[in-house]
Amino acid sequence: MSNVKRDYPRSVSFTCNINPYAEGSVIVEFGNTKVHVTAMVSEEVPPFLKGKGQGWVTAEYAMLPAATHDRNQRERKGAAGRSQEIQRLIGRSLRAAVDLQLLGERTINIDCDVLVADGGTRTAAISGGHVALALALQKLLAAKKIKSSPLKEQVAAVSVGVGTDGGIYADLNYQEDSTFETDMNLVMTASGRLIEIQGTAERGSFSKLQLQEMIACGESALQKIFQEQNKVLA
């Protein structure tokens, strides 16, 4: 990891139970990035799962109008392409952590609304989504709607990039994300298993060694995020 310049995230915090109507809710902050995440339980499943005895976890993602410097238009006719891609990533990441059979025939909807965007909104949404999901499952257990927790793994995500100086940095802010040579999103479990890697060379290309160093850098940064998740879920 000789080229790693920053293997830790920006300041990370999770403020839980801020929404009285959701089974799980949190405001997650990665530096200046701030995302409001809720988990709400529906006692039904999509048509393709009816009668199969298993549940579903799905996600929606949106940026509020004042999340960036210039006002965002609300996506009133449905999620735009970027939002669809991000919410599918969030859903896939969180489903990987859940035993859907133990969840029973119910759906947990994870809604992620970006309040302030300063880079890493999707990784913050995944990390906060895990906390909101875990809180919702705790309530289902307390209400005896499920016999045991379906949560198999702790999940978090972080961005990593290669700067113009060749150094590797974790948890990129907007300025870094928009100028770096390469950026990657890493989704991982606390046991070290990979769920998803999204890596793109914005200018030129990157080597296998740099890929290995980015993964190692991201894994190191994720340990702090896992710790902060554990603090609020304890």
- The span from the CA of 137 to the CA of 149, in Å, is 7
| Nearest alpha-carbon partner for 225 in 7, 24, 12, 29 | 12
Residue 1 has pLDDT above 60, yes or no: no
**Alpha helix ranges (H) inside 143-207:** 174-179
- Per-residue model confidence (pLDDT) at position 72: 73
Q: Which two tokens stand for residue 215?
A: 């993964």
Q: How confident is the model at residue 46 (pLDDT cuts 50, 70, 90)?
A: very high
**Where are the chain's structural domains?**
4-233
DSSP for 29-60, please give it. Answer: EETTEEEEEEEEEES---GGGTTSS--EEEEE
Handedness of CA 109, 174, 163, 29 (dihedral sign): negative
- The span from the CA of 46 to the CA of 105, in Å, is 9
- Per-residue model confidence (pLDDT) at position 2: 72
Give the residues across from 162 on adjacent strands.
168, 182
C-alpha torsion angle, residues 215, 100, 37, 84 (rounded to 10): 70
Would the pTM count as exceeding 0.85?
yes
**Do the strands 155-162 and 56-63 form a parallel or antiparallel pair, or are they unpaired?**
unpaired
Give the residues across from 33 on adjacent strands.
30
Residue 127 has pLDDT above 60, yes or no: yes
∠ CA 181-184-185, rounded to 5°: 155
- Per-residue model confidence (pLDDT) at position 83: 81
Task: Specify the long-range contacts of residues 206-215, CB closer than 8 Å, at least 24 apart.
Answer: 206/162, 206/181, 206/182, 210/3, 210/162, 210/168, 210/182, 213/1, 213/3, 213/4, 213/168, 214/160, 214/161, 214/162, 214/168, 214/182, 214/184, 214/186, 215/160, 215/186
Mean pLDDT (the chain, rounded)? 93
Architecture of the 4-233 domain: 2-Layer Sandwich (3.30)
Give the residues across from 25 on adjacent strands.
38
**Alpha helix ranges (H) inside 68-119:** 81-95, 100-103
CB atoms inside a 10 Å sphere around CB 14: 21
Radius of gyration, CA atoms only, the chain: 18
Least-confidence region, from 32-46, 94-108, 159-173, 196-210 = 196-210
Please report, in angstroms and rounded to a whole number, the separation of the first and last CA atoms in the chain. 32
